[in-house]
């Protein structure tokens, strides 16, 4: 008889675990709190527009990338229409000066030197390091828990030529690194590229991967990607139970044996995998009973990806030739909440994906960082009217800023939508409204986070909270790795595709 495996969460990691386990002879059922699959990788329709919530770039869906086999385990990558943008980000200051961070490293170097000649030595050092990392392939398989001696030697040999650069660039945050520059325009561009708390190594990876075209955008965005993975899982015999929030993981004699839903129904399984929020899993569904000092330290002291207020605009005009990602400096700043004021708004202009809008229209989104997720949660709970009013205020200011750049935007807004950290918590239950998981700080580095908990058997975790790097490919790999570990424990050869 096939082992019955319960998976909590139909996000990318949960779907990946399900696809890989079904292929390897297990019977799985996923229990998802929302009405749809995908978790944070989602989008929704409004008046002919699709409000893309997730994908800016997709990493590794090309044959030469080390993540490719992981993508193959959940979809046929050839079903994706991949688009490559010539630039990563354009930053424009309020005085009209701008700089574009190009995908091509030679073009990027030329642009940076022209706009910031006073920082030539830092620019050349950065570009040289990025060129070096174009040859680096992130070791993905097998999972470290079942790696043998020779597997570990192979990883060391892959990393060894890059070790000096790893140590240098992973020891400093982006913010600390950028402060070495003199040119204010270039400083602002680099600060707006990624979360400034991240290790500077992240910047190198982004531009190295863009140059070799390992980063792309899949036509159709999140809805298309999730649909492909979900269909693959369902066609393999897996089942998804929607609107089924898990309240408790049932434990008997030190073993996970099932789940209890909020509606009072319980279900049994031989193994339980939580691909749900890590904090909720450990401290709520398991009551904080399976901890050690490392886990306590992780959830007490390490930085979490910030939450966002996101504004979605369906605009009845095209933006042909305009950058896909544009950061505009504000004249007076934008107040997000009681403790957050932004100097820049970064717009994602979805002019590369016509499937997200009706003919003649364009979806434009803005991600507005806030560290004050509790403000939005409390406001929604205690004063719905003011909550709605604040969302509208922010959306209006986002539109006004875009109007200063492109003119006549206000009259062409067909549809407007806004999500907050409270929205994220409602739909995904993500801790602190975080959109990803841990920030890859110098302290986090490539820290190994256990997929199991002390004192608890027949239980595994998958997803962003047991990985030191975030993003969609990490989630796919995480689900696949849990399936591989289960196969290894059962003495089964793991089949990838």
Q: Where are the domains of the chain?
A: 4-42+68-74+222-303+436-489, 97-212, 307-431
CA 399 to chain centre: 25
CA dihedral 56, 209, 112, 86 (to 10 degrees): -50
Instruction: Kindly report, residue by residue over 399-454, the tens digit of the pLDDT.
Output: 999 999 998 899 999 999 999 999 999 999 999 999 889 999 999 877 889 999 99
Please give the average per-residue pLDDT across 347-372, as a whole number.
96
Instruction: Kindly report, residue by residue over 86-118, the tens digit of the pLDDT.
Output: 999 999 999 999 999 999 999 999 999 999 999
Instruction: Kindly report, residue by residue over 130-186, the tens digit of the pLDDT.
Output: 999 999 998 888 998 998 888 888 888 888 999 999 999 999 999 999 999 999 999
* Per-residue 3-state assignment (H helix, E strand, C coil) for 36-51: CCECCCCEEEECCEEE
pLDDT of residue 1: 78
Looking only at the bridges linking them, the beta strands covering 98-102 and 87-92 are: antiparallel
Residues 6+ apart with CB under 8 A from 291: 282, 453, 454
Which burial class, exposed, middle or buried, applies to 330 when counting CB atoms under 10 A from its CB (0-12, 13-18, 19+)? middle
Which token pair is 245?
């929030």
Please give the average per-residue pLDDT across 44-48, as a whole number.
95
* Backbone torsions φ then ψ of 214, nearest 5 degrees: -90, -20
Please give the average per-residue pLDDT across 28-37, as a whole number.
97
Beta strands in 264-352 (DSSP E): 266-268, 271-274, 307-315, 325-337, 340-349
- With CA atoms as reference, report the closest residue to 6 among 30, 25, 37, 24: 30
Contact 423, 282 (CB under 8 A): no
Q: Count CA atoms closer than 13 A to 87's CA, side-chain side.
A: 18
Please check the confidence at residue 497 and state whether its pLDDT lies above 80: no
Which token pair is 284?
């709520």
How many angstroms separate the CA atoms of 186 and 173, rounded? 16
Percentage of the chain exceeding pLDDT 70: 100
How many angstroms separate the CA atoms of 314 and 361, rounded? 7
**Average pLDDT of every residue of the chain:** 95
Which token pair is 464?
């962003």
User: How many helices (H) does the chain have, and how many strands (E)?
Assistant: 16, 20
Please give the average per-residue pLDDT across 270-299, as a whole number.
97
Does the domain formed by 4-42+68-74+222-303+436-489 have CATH 3.40.50.2300? no
Residues 6+ apart with CB under 8 A from 197: 173, 174, 175, 303, 439, 441
pLDDT of residue 250: 98
Instruction: Kindly report, residue by residue over 231-257, the tens digit of the pLDDT.
Output: 999 999 999 999 999 999 999 999 999
Please give the average per-residue pLDDT across 258-276, as a whole number.
98
How many angstroms separate the CA atoms of 181 and 131, rounded? 20
Q: How confident is the model at residue 73 (pLDDT cuts 50, 70, 90)?
A: very high
| Cross-strand pairs, 100 | 90
């Amino acid at each position: 008889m096939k082992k019955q495996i319960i998976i909590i969460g139909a996000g990318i990691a949960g779907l990946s675990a399900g696809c890989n386990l079904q292929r390897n002879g297990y019977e799985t059922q996923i229990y998802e709190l929302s009405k749809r699959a995908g978790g944070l990788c989602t989008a929704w329709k409004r008046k002919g527009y699709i409000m893309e919530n997730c994908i800016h770039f997709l990493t590794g869906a090309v044959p030469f990338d080390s993540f490719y086999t992981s993508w193959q385990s959940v979809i046929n990558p050839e079903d994706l229409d991949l688009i490559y943008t010539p630039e990563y980000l354009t930053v424009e200051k309020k005085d009209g000066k701008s700089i574009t961070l190009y995908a091509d490293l030679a073009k990027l170097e030329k642009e940076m030197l022209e706009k910031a000649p006073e920082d030539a030595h830092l620019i050349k050092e950065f570009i040289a390091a990025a060129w070096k990392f174009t040859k680096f392939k992130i070791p993905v398989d097998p999972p470290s828990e079942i790696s043998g001696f020779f597997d570990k030697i192979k990883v060391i040999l892959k990393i060894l030529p890059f070790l000096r650069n790893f140590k240098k660039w992973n020891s400093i945050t982006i913010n600390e690194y950028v402060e070495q520059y003199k040119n204010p325009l270039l400083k602002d561009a680099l600060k707006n590229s990624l979360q400034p708390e991240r290790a500077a190594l992240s910047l190198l990876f982004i531009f190295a991967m863009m140059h070799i075209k390992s980063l792309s955008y899949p036509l159709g965005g999140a809805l298309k990607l999730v649909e492909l993975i979900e269909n693959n899982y369902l066609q393999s015999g897996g089942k998804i139970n929607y609107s089924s929030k898990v309240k408790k993981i049932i434990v008997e004699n030190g073993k996970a044996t099932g789940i209890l839903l909020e509606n009072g129904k319980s279900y049994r399984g031989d193994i339980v995998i939580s691909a749900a929020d890590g904090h909720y899993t450990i401290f709520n569904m398991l009551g904080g009973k399976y901890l050690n000092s490392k886990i306590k330290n992780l959830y007490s002291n390490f930085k979490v990806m910030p939450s966002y207020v996101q504004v979605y605009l369906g605009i009845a005009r095209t933006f042909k030739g305009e950058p896909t990602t544009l950061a505009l400096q504000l004249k007076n700043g934008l107040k997000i909440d009681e403790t957050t004021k932004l100097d820049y708004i970064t717009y994602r202009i979805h002019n590369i994906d016509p499937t997200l809008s009706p003919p003649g229209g364009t979806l434009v989104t803005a991600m507005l960082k806030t560290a004050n997720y509790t403000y939005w949660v409390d406001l929604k709970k205690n004063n719905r009217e003011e909550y709605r009013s604040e969302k509208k205020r922010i959306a209006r200011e986002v539109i006004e800023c875009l109007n200063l750049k492109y003119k006549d935007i206000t009259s062409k807004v067909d549809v407007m939508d806004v999500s907050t950290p409270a929205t994220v918590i409602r739909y995904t239950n993500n801790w602190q409204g975080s959109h990803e998981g841990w920030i890859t700080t110098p302290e986090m580095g490539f820290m190994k986070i256990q997929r199991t908990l002390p004192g608890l058997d027949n239980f595994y975790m998958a997803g962003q909270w047991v990985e030191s790097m975030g993003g969609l490919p990490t989630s796919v790999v995480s689900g696949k790795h849990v399936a591989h570990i289960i196969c290894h424990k059962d003495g089964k050869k793991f089949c990838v595709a």
